[in-house]
Structure 1
Amino acid sequence: MSSELFADPMFGILLTLTAYASAVLIRRRWSWLHPLLSAPILVYLVLQLGNISFLDYRAGGNIVTFFLGPATVAMAVPLYKHAMRLRRILPALLLGALVGSAVGLLVNTLCVLLFGGTETFLRTALPKSVTAAVAVDLSGWLGGTPELTAALTVLTGLVGSIAGPPLLRLCGVRDNIASSIAIGAAAHGIGSAKLLSESEERGGLSGFSMAACAVFTPVLLLPVHAWLL
């Protein structure tokens, strides 16, 4: 009976939502502990202590993952609200996103090669600087491991959302437009969501940068894909 309960998709959904809600409460006590870091740990502990198969959990977890796409599309709302302002600075936004995409791919490649990573890991890590909904598909197309790409993508967004703003200030980048484009290009959805909680305009700029990078990155990956083959 218990195995049937754990295999039910609702179990995975409830466990994911409960873990995230608990992680938000934990952050009120320890502000440095990001929910996207503590929530997976809570899920892992429940699965281990309950001797629950990951495959059983994934039946519901995949449903949650499916909503990454609609959640990403929903970030177009602040874009629409600030469409007129975005139109005036569109060339700068597109150029910033293009440079961000190119630099992200270059840094990912250099890091893997520098630390002696395998070709499979290179294929897995290359697309980690775009939003997870796109990165997972790109990883499969390149011949990488989509599950590991998803983890690397979330970790990239998490680190970018926490360390990105102070690092940009340290480098002297204080302009809201420039910093928003940089966060959207480097920290994709997680970074954009953080900016959106602070300012709808900055969240919209970051969301546009994230979306533009999701278009530019596959195009830039075409010659890389040919080289890997």
Structure 2
Amino acid sequence: MSYLENKFFLLAITFGIYFFAKLLQKKTGIVLLNPILLAIAAIIVFLKTFNISYDTYNEGGQLIEFWLKPAVVALGVPLYLQLETIKKQLMPIILSQLAGCVVGVVSVVVIAKLMGASQAVILSLAPKSVTTPIAMEVTKTIEGIPSLTAAVVVCVGLLGAILGFKTLKLLRVNSPIAQGLSMGTAAHAVGTSTAMDVSGKYGAYASLGLTLNGIFTALLTPTILRLLGFL
């Protein structure tokens, strides 16, 4: 059974599970069958069933993790394709992203405080809406728990991918620009990936929302937390 702990075998299992999860959602059209969510659940079951430790699995997982940052940078391609349109709306976009950043940070830390969360947990939740590399760096800066932040970021992204467009439709937000920006701002890379599946225009604005919210969150989170008395 030693082959089960081989990092290349585990890497192949990861790709295989994700491929079939993606195929399942495409065949069924069920939003709740999100490929990332299904892949995470299936991999956890696999590791538990065969008693494989996370550290062993992560030896292969690091080969995938390496591509996370370049993948975020690659989101700039659809953004470039919509550059001329974006230039004409730059000020409203920046103001909306600034508002999204502030509301995102303030709402989660205030709710966490009211529900009795500890200081460390509150600080770890603050950068929940930005992509994992940025969120973890912000958490380290404010002395939160990076591993908790990473888990929360994944959950937020999955929730946004599953419910984001449905919520926007329910609230009668019909503009592709507003929908794309909202998905990128609230659900980072996972939401942007979902927006990409809709169309390049949605994906471009989601990329912009992800990027601007990441910058604003990295710059403003410590200041916001100090003003609220959490630092």
TM-score by length of 1: 0.91
Give, in whole Å, the separation in 2 of the partners of 1:70 and 1:57: 22
Name the SS of the counterpart of 2:181 in structure 1: helix
The residue number in structure 2 matching 1:16 is 14
Q: Contact (CA 8 Å) 1:156, 1:187: kept in 2 or not?
A: yes
Cα offset, 1:94, TM superposition:
1.0
Q: Which deviates more, 159-168 or 90-99?
A: 159-168
Q: Does 1:159 align with 2:168?
A: no
CA displacement, residues 25-54 of structure 1 (integer Å, 9 cap, x when unaligned): 333347231111111111111111111111
Count, aligned residues: 227
Q: Which deviates more, 162-171 or 119-128?
A: 162-171
Alignment-mate amino acid for residue 124 of structure 2: T
Q: Does 1:209 align with 2:209?
A: yes
The residue number in structure 2 matching 1:125 is 125
Name the SS of the counterpart of 2:127 in structure 1: helix
The residue number in structure 2 matching 1:65 is 65
The residue number in structure 1 matching 2:85 is 85
Aligned pair in 2 of structure 1 residues 153, 81: CA closer, same or farther (>3 Å)? same
Give, in whole Å, the separation in 1 of the partners of 2:142 and 2:16: 34
Give, in whole Å, the separation in 1 of the partners of 2:203 and 2:22: 21
Alignment-mate amino acid for residue 26 of structure 1: L
| Aligned mate of 2:23, from 18, 25, 32 | 25
Give, in whole Å, the separation in 1 of the partners of 2:121 and 2:98: 24
Q: Which deviates more, 206-215 or 17-26?
A: 17-26
Cα offset, 1:190, TM superposition:
1.2
CA displacement, residues 175-207 of structure 1 (integer Å, 9 cap, x when unaligned): 221222111111111111111111111210110
Identity over aligned pairs, percent:
31
CA displacement, residues 78-98 of structure 1 (integer Å, 9 cap, x when unaligned): 011111111111111111111
Give, in whole Å, the separation in 1 of the partners of 2:18 and 2:148: 20
Return the structure number with greater helix share.
1
Alignment-mate amino acid for residue 101 of structure 2: S
RMSD: 1.9
The residue number in structure 2 matching 1:101 is 101
Q: Which runs of 5+ in 2 are unaligned?
A: none
Q: Contact (CA 8 Å) 1:161, 1:187: kept in 2 or not?
A: yes
Q: Which runs of 5+ in 1 are unaligned?
A: none
